[in-house]
Structure 1
């Protein structure tokens, strides 16, 4: 006879053991999340129970619909996708007891996701403790690579290694931020195919892919969306005409989308494409519950995941569904005025040739792939911009001289740019020093040129070169290192192009001096990596700025035809690499030294952070320049500006600065 005090304990453990054989009440993902899901403090602005936004509900319903095998989501940031994935993981582990695998682009991404998103969810969603015995325990069932639940397993992998797609069999596979994956994983195939293979044989296989798109034509999520049987956008009913339409960015000349007046973000409204009504964000939030997903052929999805044709008849769900146009404007957590402010700031940078902020806006705020026609620069187009000023003569706007140096087996080539406000710049010299870079003579010539060559400014003062970036690739690497180390205090830098998947023009630094013991020297020379694709994109964009002003590039009429041919000697091309298709700049002719020198000068400009210098900085430079007494030969502590007698030169051609009003959209 069992003692009474042991009966509750036995009943508890018996119930826990038999729980895996129980059949839960049918519930879809949205219903499960409404009852159980919770926003953790580590990964949310507000810690609280979760309530799905209207545009999230149909997506959740499709993820949990066994008739749908593939769900794709092309999205922007800040639309709650990570929370939807977390809710799905909890749902399939707790309610469906299905094996799952989730891939992040790299192992580091996986680790961060587990620590900041998954583990707080497992801690704060109370029902997960029922099926996760190893919660908060150091146990083989609770690692960064795997979480073992009662009746199922969750595998967590990085996406770069082919081995991470092997030896697992799952029912549900997730690929998070798909566009950040390699398009060909170690030459074994694309990540979607490799992940989908892991679900073969499952009774109800499910593949979920979501991502913010990146580059048009190379976007993996865009390719997935194109393969879907149907593509859906979230539509709202216009408060004025009751006609359904999606919220869109539109465009300056488009009869729909966001519009504002006089450059004021607070005036932003959304223009209905049907009746022309202008609605505020508050109007949208009053009707968003009545919204629905709709495809081009009129098929709709209700919030509970029911599909209907254009006549309103319930139909069978497609096997492969894609959601597109899910962008920041749908989120109640983001003010429409802030979206406009972000665009205006990005567009202002774009007018100087720096497209990075605008690209980020298109990718992460609008949820669209960046599309830019990058063609070969036309030689004649650049030559037509040549202006009647002499070389070694600095026009009035130039205040700082920077040099880019390219190394060849028999020469050094130097291009000197004069920088002014907003990184407007002028080519003020192009020199070739012949000689073997393995010998001292050519370096002595370069030293004399860089540190002792005077450049006459239009004001009558004299400028000297402030800094130089020297290419270290090729057969003269150690000679460049030695030279950069010797003149490091005079702002001479050893640089090397890194044209792969660089993240920035200033793409990192490494110490390269090693002593006889194989140890890095503490004060050894530094090698700076140049993100050449980004630098060349910036140059290309600046070459297409139509009029003088921030970012504009000026050329002297004294430059040779060969110089202009070199400046047009590369183009953007798409090539197949070991990591899949990549878009990069490639030479179309043998000699492109002027172009490369300009790349190194742009790196130096970025290193010195000239684009962010306030007006006060340029005012001080200009004041110091103008205040130097004529005829003085003394150098200042900053060798940018030295006064000298003016030499008669042709004046720089000055054109009035004008810009289009991009902010007026009504």
Structure 2
């Protein structure tokens, strides 16, 4: 090796020890960033739009921990994100992680955006010398830089948020992620956990918003300390204001004449004058990001209060920008798209209007949803005690939802006509990873008997236990050894039209390190069908068949969880279909009720005739001829005769039902 090569190798080795001259992200991008041909309309050196610089500087500002960007399409968010990744790797040597909604999205992001940046931005060769991809450490899911590392992950699986510690956590298209990642929490919260312990933690998230009430980016925007809009001076009166869509009832915003898009202009909210897109572009360099309280950001990324004094940057900031700010789209085309969407909406197809609202205005779409209000259900609560079965309740079923640190259980009593009563709602603190916790905490609960208002005591006849989380084999093993007690391993199936009690299959079970082939039967639960049925019954207003009763002892949280989902019309590959969508993260009470309904279907309660219900009532609630007399004393021999007669009357196709009468005593 010659002297020059040795010196070059030494310089490269010492690179990680250099203290770089302070530089803002917008400055770094102006000096180094490049738009690659594969990922840009126009290849060439980066030139930021005026509204992009402050956002980028907030990305790179160590005093700002959280940056949220609610955006439309065509505002250059992805390019700003890729520039930030290069900046953190080259200038600040920070460990980073980028999450995309799916694995396919992550792979495409790497191939189209990231790899081309690493190839075409010359200074990246200082920290990424293996740019040709011949280093096995650099893959679609990870890039190793000099002094730092970058992870690129799909966001659907909870394991994607584990076992990494980073300084910078980035989520792209946050509203495209599942709201709850495998029952472990929201993606933004899980990603944020990866920066705990960092000296300068940074959490960046941006997205085109989707449904009102379900948008994580809108929720995070509202949680920020300050929310900024880009204000421009009116070309005529010089008063500052943001570009706004407005509306027919507003005197400001986008206006046009006689449905002619070519006449569009923006009406100033101060002087009312109408100015064109060309006039806007003549003053946009003078624009400023201004928050509700008057705080504004200058050209150097510094924050000022309403008196123009420099202040300490807030911990969390949000930016909202929409397509009208970008020269990539004409105002004429924006209006043309809107008018076309309105025409379709008048004919009953709101899909294009929804797309316009999300991707052009950068706002959430207010969907017509089918929902049940929490307060209305809470008002229906009745004065019966929890853990006591009211008159009318005849058979108990339970649903168990398994969380990372607890079991949640709801017990329902079913009576004639499938009228239902909540008998109990319990949160059992436990570690489901430890099978002893199942034995010592969950099993005793499911074995207990509940007092009946008629004087009897009832056991839980059937139970559905969720196996879809991270404790699948613990759940399998628990259910496997309790099959005779009709404790079923279940998993949700959200495809439309699936029966509540769906197909079953035998699954292998990992028992203390050994695999037991086909050791447990797993049942699929038609969750959409079950929720349709449950929410239909919640609308039944009078006690009787199908009515659902609630105890005054239930906490408000139960009702909030029971109504946590709404039925929304969505476009799918098979056309428009209604889907149940979460409007809040916690929905365990609903899931438990779904599993308890499945358990009731395993007992065929939905097929009972009046004669079968009458016979069951004669066992559980024997008639009292003297209204002042106490319930008849339970004699050991008598119930056996009644139970034998009962079992004979309600003969069904499954032998397992023969034990039902025996357990009703």
Query: What's the TM-score once normalised by structure 2's chain length?
Result: 0.58
Cα displacement string for residues 174-219 of structure 1 (whole angstroms, at most 9, x for unaligned residues)? 0110011111111111111111111111111100010010001110
Cα displacement string for residues 599-630 of structure 1 (whole angstroms, at most 9, x for unaligned residues)? xxxxxxxxxxxxxxxxxxxxxxxxxxxxxxxx
Matched, 1:365 2:365: no
What residue in structure 2 maps to residue 159 of structure 1?
155
Matched, 1:179 2:175: yes
Equivalent pair of 1:328/1:365 in contact (CA under 8 Å): yes
Cα displacement string for residues 204-257 of structure 1 (whole angstroms, at most 9, x for unaligned residues)? 110001001000111000110111011100000011111110000001111110
Rate the CA distance shift 1:472–1:207 in 2: closer, same or farther, 3 A: closer
Measured after TM superposition, the shift of residue 579 of structure 1 is 11
- 2-side partners of 1:7 and 1:195: how far apart? 46
Query: What's the TM-score once normalised by structure 1's chain length?
Result: 0.58
What residue in structure 2 maps to residue 8 of structure 1?
4
Equivalent pair of 1:374/1:572 in contact (CA under 8 Å): no
- 2-side partners of 1:67 and 1:74: how far apart? 21
- 2-side partners of 1:580 and 1:280: how far apart? 54
Measured after TM superposition, the shift of residue 501 of structure 1 is 12
Matched, 1:260 2:256: yes
What residue in structure 2 maps to residue 408 of structure 1?
none
- 2-side partners of 1:239 and 1:580: how far apart? 56
Rate the CA distance shift 1:572–1:323 in 2: closer, same or farther, 3 A: closer
- 2-side partners of 1:581 and 1:96: how far apart? 47
Equivalent pair of 2:369/2:568 in contact (CA under 8 Å): no
What residue in structure 1 maps to residue 288 of structure 2?
292
- 2-side partners of 1:118 and 1:264: how far apart? 42
- 1-side partners of 2:322 and 2:362: how far apart? 5
Aligned positions of 1:278-289 closer than 5 A:
278-289=274-285
Measured after TM superposition, the shift of residue 288 of structure 1 is 0.5
Matched, 1:533 2:578: yes
Provide the aligned C-alpha RMSD in A.
2.9
Partner SS, residue 257 of structure 2: coil
Please, which moves more after superposition, 217-226 or 126-135?
Answer: 126-135
Aligned positions of 1:503-522 closer than 5 A:
507-508=572-573
Bigger relative contact order, structure 1 or 2 (CA pairs below 8 A, ≥6 apart): 1
Measured after TM superposition, the shift of residue 173 of structure 1 is 0.7
- 1-side partners of 2:251 and 2:353: how far apart? 22
Among candidates 316, 336, 349, match of residue 354 of structure 1: 349
Partner SS, residue 268 of structure 1: strand
Among candidates 322, 333, 357, match of residue 327 of structure 1: 322
Structure 2: gaps of 5 or more residues: 373-495, 504-526, 533-564, 592-665
Structure 1: gaps of 5 or more residues: 378-470, 479-495, 509-528, 535-570, 583-666
What residue in structure 2 maps to residue 270 of structure 1?
266
Equivalent pair of 2:72/2:323 in contact (CA under 8 Å): yes
Among candidates 26, 41, 44, match of residue 30 of structure 1: 26
Rate the CA distance shift 1:94–1:501 in 2: closer, same or farther, 3 A: farther
Measured after TM superposition, the shift of residue 353 of structure 1 is 0.9
- 1-side partners of 2:143 and 2:314: how far apart? 31
Cα displacement string for residues 57-113 of structure 1 (whole angstroms, at most 9, x for unaligned residues)? 100111111111110000001100000000000000001111000000111110110
- 2-side partners of 1:276 and 1:252: how far apart? 14
Measured after TM superposition, the shift of residue 532 of structure 1 is 1.6
Matched, 1:242 2:238: yes
Rate the CA distance shift 1:185–1:266 in 2: closer, same or farther, 3 A: same
Partner SS, residue 578 of structure 2: helix
- 2-side partners of 1:291 and 1:580: how far apart? 49
- 1-side partners of 2:232 and 2:588: how far apart? 41
Aligned positions of 1:81-120 closer than 5 A:
81-120=77-116
Equivalent pair of 2:232/2:287 in contact (CA under 8 Å): yes
What residue in structure 2 maps to residue 487 of structure 1?
none
Among candidates 68, 75, 78, match of residue 79 of structure 1: 75
Measured after TM superposition, the shift of residue 261 of structure 1 is 0.4
Partner SS, residue 106 of structure 2: helix
Matched, 1:309 2:309: no
What residue in structure 1 maps to residue 40 of structure 2?
44
Partner SS, residue 260 of structure 1: strand
Measured after TM superposition, the shift of residue 575 of structure 1 is 7.4
What residue in structure 2 maps to residue 344 of structure 1?
339
Equivalent pair of 1:213/1:367 in contact (CA under 8 Å): yes
Please, which moves more after superposition, 5-14 or 51-60?
Answer: 5-14
Measured after TM superposition, the shift of residue 132 of structure 1 is 0.9
Aligned positions of 1:123-202 closer than 5 A:
123-202=119-198
Measured after TM superposition, the shift of residue 11 of structure 1 is 1.1
Cα displacement string for residues 261-290 of structure 1 (whole angstroms, at most 9, x for unaligned residues)? 011111000000000011100111111011
Measured after TM superposition, the shift of residue 134 of structure 1 is 2.2
Measured after TM superposition, the shift of residue 26 of structure 1 is 1.3
Partner SS, residue 63 of structure 1: helix
Measured after TM superposition, the shift of residue 504 of structure 1 is 9.4
- 1-side partners of 2:197 and 2:177: how far apart? 25
- 2-side partners of 1:286 and 1:365: how far apart? 22
- 2-side partners of 1:578 and 1:334: how far apart? 41
What residue in structure 2 maps to residue 223 of structure 1?
219
Partner SS, residue 213 of structure 2: coil
Equivalent pair of 2:68/2:220 in contact (CA under 8 Å): yes
What residue in structure 2 maps to residue 537 of structure 1?
none
Measured after TM superposition, the shift of residue 295 of structure 1 is 0.9
Partner SS, residue 187 of structure 1: coil
Partner SS, residue 185 of structure 1: coil
Equivalent pair of 1:104/1:157 in contact (CA under 8 Å): yes
Equivalent pair of 2:302/2:310 in contact (CA under 8 Å): yes
